[in-house]
Amino acid sequence: MGIQIIGAGMYVPETIVSNEDFAKIVDTSDEWITTRTGIKTRHIADGELAYQMGAKAALRALEDANMAVEQVDMVLVTTVTADCLTPSLACMIANEIGIEDAICMDINAACAGYVFALDIAKKYLDSGDLQTVLIVSAEMLTRMIDYTDRSTCVLFGDGAAATIVKKSDSLYASCIKSSPKGAMKIYTKLPEPKHPFQTKTYRWNDEDVAKAPIGMIQMAGNDVYKFATTAMPQAVELAAQKANISLDEIDLIIPHQANVRIINTAIKKLKLPPEKFYINIEEFGNISSACIPLGLAQLKAAGRLKQGDKICLVGFGAGLTYGAVIFEY
Ligand code: COA
């Protein structure tokens, strides 16, 4: 059994920040950012929260599917930048759009979140317990960016995308993986607890982590780069093997958009025509788990997804997580 995406929608905030804007606040240039990352602009939230962006994308996906909120059985939200530690962003988005009765939960698999969520949705759909899953990927990276750190602040943007997923009889295969030995290659730390019964100091095992600022993304960029250029092609190859198809049979690949050089390396390693890869990093930068569904929503709205197309979605992110899904549209 496979899946069908019967609706998709996206929402990005109005405010656009260019590379030139960054050159005014940190020691960087349009030339450096463009050649090293492929990013030109990113949309950033200014006065709106992740659940509000996610709700807008969700309503657009429902409208695209011509569906009422009552028909949603499950809301899966992917995010690393939720508005509250609890409740889940899924419950907040469901409440915002008027869903009264659905299974709601968040999935934190960082930038690979959408691929993980789609696979979880598929497995729930296979069980026969439910018919319709709404996946919302809502991210507000500006929440955890240190705007004095030029090596991270230029990379990320905000936005949300949503898809409505049902089961189908078509081809589906996935390769979902994690490499937890890289757990602290990208991280954002919460404050240690403080309570009235405390007698001891909380100590991290790693001194660098202990010293890291609270709430700001920390990244070993070069290590992540090396990981991603191996993990992305590997996930695509493994998913294709499981789908029992050759790489040439894939019509379209939507990769996570972290750095255009990572995508170009994957293209070379997979020996596939670059035209098969959808790239929108220039406008949006890295919106974590929202990148892949945002690409899906753009392509669907443009009528570029054709019935029978074999589509591959491939992501990687903090954790380290990675994975690919291949499905027939
Ligand atoms: N503007 C100008 N110079 C910058 C800069 C910026 N925005 N950011 C870093 N630099 C500098 C560094 O300080 C370093 O200077 P030095 O040589 O004087 O020390 C130099 O550029 C090279 O830094 P390096 O980190 O080697 O650059 P890079 O080519 O590897 O690019 C990343 C850095 C972060 C763009 C790249 O490593 C990357 O994309 N990594 C993967 C990150 C990722 O995917 N994260 C999300 C996972 S979902």
The rounded Å distance from CA 16 to ligand 1 centre is: 22
pLDDT score, position 216: 98
Mean pLDDT value across residues 205-224: 96
pTM score of the predicted model: 0.97
- Protein residues whose CB sits closer than 6 Å to any atom of ligand 1: 28, 32-33, 36-37, 111, 150-151, 154, 186, 219, 221-222, 224-225, 228, 258-259, 286, 317
Split at pLDDT 50, 70, 90, the class of 58 is: very high
**Residues whose CB falls within 8 Å of the CB of residue 185, separated by 6 or more in sequence, listed in order:** 219, 220, 223, 224, 227, 318, 320
Give catalytic status of residue 43 as yes or no.
no
The rounded Å distance from CA 217 to ligand 1 centre is: 14
Give catalytic status of residue 111 as yes or no.
yes
Give catalytic status of residue 195 as yes or no.
no
Mean pLDDT value across residues 4-19: 98
Tokens 């499981």 identify what position? Answer: 242
Cα angle 282-10-314, degrees, rounded to a multiple of 5: 60
Mean pLDDT score of the chain: 97
Residue nearest to atom 48 of ligand 1 (CA): 317
User: Is residue 224 within 8 Å of residue 320, measured between CB atoms?
Assistant: yes
**Per-residue pLDDT tens over the stretch 173-196:** 999 999 999 999 999 999 999 999
Residue nearest to atom 47 of ligand 1 (CA): 317
CA distance 209 to 206: 5
User: Is residue 157 within 8 Å of residue 294, measured between CB atoms?
Assistant: no
**Per-residue pLDDT tens over the stretch 219-274:** 999 999 999 999 999 999 999 999 999 999 999 999 999 999 999 999 999 999 99
pLDDT score, position 10: 98
